[in-house]
Amino acid sequence: MIAHKLGVTPQALLKRFRNKKELLIAAMKPCRSAPWLDMVQEGPDDRPVNEQLTEILQELASFFSEVVRRMEILQWSGVSMKELMASFEEPPPVRDIRAIAGWLHRLHDKKMIRKIDFDATAMFILTAMHGPAMLTQFLGKPPTGHTFNEYISQYVNILLHGLLDSSNSEIEQ
């Protein structure tokens, strides 16, 4: 079916790839740059951080919803995540952490956020969007009952304001 749509024979298609597994990996990889990644690499701009972060997270959450479905197909087909990551020059999660950390660092340079561990915060952001996408796919509904936008709004609020009440004098640093 794939070969037919491409206008080649199945043999020609398999010749391009060493085996069916490599063909499947190539078919499941995103074929264009993720919009959220472009936004992160081009920013930040001068808008309030919560606006920019919300916009990025909406794109990131949408991206992860698609990626989770692709990963599920690959796992069902017997492709391990280790094999998938090995098919990239740089594993996407490593690239993504670096990109978000860079965006956060540039926010700090513009005095829009305080100094933080940019890499750890980038990991928080990625996992906070990947986890719900994965659980929603597994459960068939959002695990917390929040809509997509409600969840992102809650997350942005917690990320930017933290868990502790700022009036609490017992805040530990």
Q: What is the CATH number of the domain that holds 94?
A: 1.10.357
Q: Is residue 167 part of a domain?
A: no
Are residue 139 and residue 155 in the same domain, yes or no? yes
Q: Which amino acid is at 55?
A: E
Q: Is 30 exposed, middle or buried (0-12, 13-18, 19+ CB in 10 A)?
A: exposed
Residue 2 CB: number of other CB atoms within 10 A? 11
Residues 26 and 48 placed together within one structural domain of the fold = no
Determine the pLDDT at residue 30.
65
In a domain, 171, yes or no: no
What's the number of domains the chain is made of? Answer: 2
Whether residues 96 and 125 share a domain: the answer is yes
Task: Quote the pLDDT of residue 170.
Answer: 56
- Predicted confidence at residue 110, as pLDDT, reads 96
Residues 12 and 40 in one domain: no
Interatomic CA distance for residues 41 and 99, integer angstroms: 6
Could you tell me the residue range of the domain that residue 88 belongs to?
32-161
Shared domain for 99 and 117, answered yes or no, is: yes
Looking at the fold, whether 88 and 20 belong to one and the same domain comes out as no
H or E segment and range at residue 156: helix 148-161
Check residue 104 and give its pLDDT: 97
Residues in the chain predicted with pLDDT less than 70, given as ranges, are: 1-3, 5-6, 13, 30-32, 167-173
Which pLDDT does position 77 carry in this prediction? 80
Whether the Cβ atoms of residue 34 and residue 63 lie closer than 8 Å to each other: yes
Residue 170 lies in a domain: no
Q: Could you tell me if 82 and 95 lie in one domain?
A: yes
Does residue 69 sit in the same domain as residue 1? no
The pLDDT score that the predictor gives to residue 167 is 66
Domain assignment of residue 133, yes or no: yes
**Percent over 90 (pLDDT), the chain:** 47
| Terminal-to-terminal C-alpha distance of the chain | 59
Question: Which pLDDT does position 37 carry in this prediction?
Answer: 92
